[in-house]
Amino acid sequence: MPDLQNPRVAVYLDFDNIVMSWYDRVHGRNAYAADRQKIIADPDQPEIAQKLKDATIDVGAIIDYAASFGTLVLTRAYADWSSPVNAFYRTQLVARAVDLVQLFPAAAYAKNGADIRLAVDTVEDMFRLPDLTHVVIVAGDSDYVPLAQRCKRLGRVVVGVGVAGSTAKSLAAACDQFDAYDSLPGVPTLEKPSAKKTDAAAAPATAGSRRRKKPEDPTAELLRRALILERERTDDEWVHLSAVKNLLKRMDPSFSEKALGHRSFSDFVKAHPTIADIDETTNIVRVRLHNAEDAAAPQDSDAV
């Protein structure tokens, strides 16, 4: 049986599903289906290019979330990578050591069989890697319910990630834990349209209007995510500094506080007072998110 004291995590992304679902979430129900032909014909057309940009998926937010459960053993993304929409993400995915699995549309509706290939690979990996403890499924289709149930029967912890409003409730119910992509640390909050906007210089409010707090720097954003994830894992406001560092290293193995000019990890944390508060009054150094009440982004009522 897998050893939960040494968690090892596998991540499987139905990439077409998450991209299309987030596009609909940002631009309105069935927006991707309505724009599909325009996207295929010319994704660089200004209006379409802007809509795609507004609906960009933050792959790092997903992978960092998965890393909060343990050591990432493998991460696979399934899609037709010849599609310009997906090709846009290739550099970002490769930079995070994601294995890109090529699928080709088998029909006019671009159904590429990701669910079947992903399910087969997942079951095979569970037998090939008996020490695998967690399976993270990034998708929203009810087709993955049997896979989630199978993983649980084989003793794995199943974590689901999907876009709020586009995820089958049956899939969420089949997982041990399910979180909306919208709620992950680092993912911007969607703003609802405001009828009171009168500034002529401002772009019209749409379902895709978004507000992002600009992080101080990439490492500050990484620290902020790690603090949120560790707090959610432990359900404690103050968490151990060493646990945060371990999580941060899993999120970004190349991280080094010394390379950033800090003598210790605690010095690195102290250098970001707008992100973290640190408590060194006891032998166990603890840290918490500064202004913790702002950490949890509000979720819409249709979030699973």
pLDDT for 2-17, tens place per residue?
Answer: 777 899 999 999 999 9
Listed in sequence order, the residues at least 6 apart from 34 whose beta carbon sits closer than 8 Å to its beta carbon are: none
Say which CATH class 8-211 falls into: alpha beta
Query: What b-and-e string marks burial along 120-131, b requiring 16 or more CB atoms within 10 Å of the CB?
Result: ebbeebbeeeee
Pairing type for strands 276-279 and 286-289 reads antiparallel
Q: What is the pLDDT of residue 93?
A: 93
**β 239-240/210-211 pair status:** unpaired
Q: Is the pTM of this model over 0.85?
A: no
Q: Which tokens go with 70?
A: 């343990």
Q: What is the 3-state composition of the chain as percent helix, strand, coil, each rounded to the nearest 5?
A: 40, 15, 45
Contact 103, 79 (CB under 8 A): yes
Domain boundaries, the chain: 8-211, 218-294
pLDDT value of residue 302: 44
The CATH architecture annotation of domain 218-294 reads: 2-Layer Sandwich (3.30)
> Per-residue pLDDT tens for 289-302?
998 655 444 444 34
Q: What is the pLDDT of residue 92?
A: 87
Mean pLDDT by groups of 10 residues along the chain of 304 residues: 85 94 94 92 92 94 94 94 88 92 68 82 96 96 94 95 91 91 86 45 44 60 94 94 92 84 94 95 94 52 44
Q: How far is CA 40 from CA 45, 72, 85, in A?
A: 11, 34, 8
Residue 114: the pLDDT is 82
Q: What pLDDT score was predicted for residue 195?
A: 38
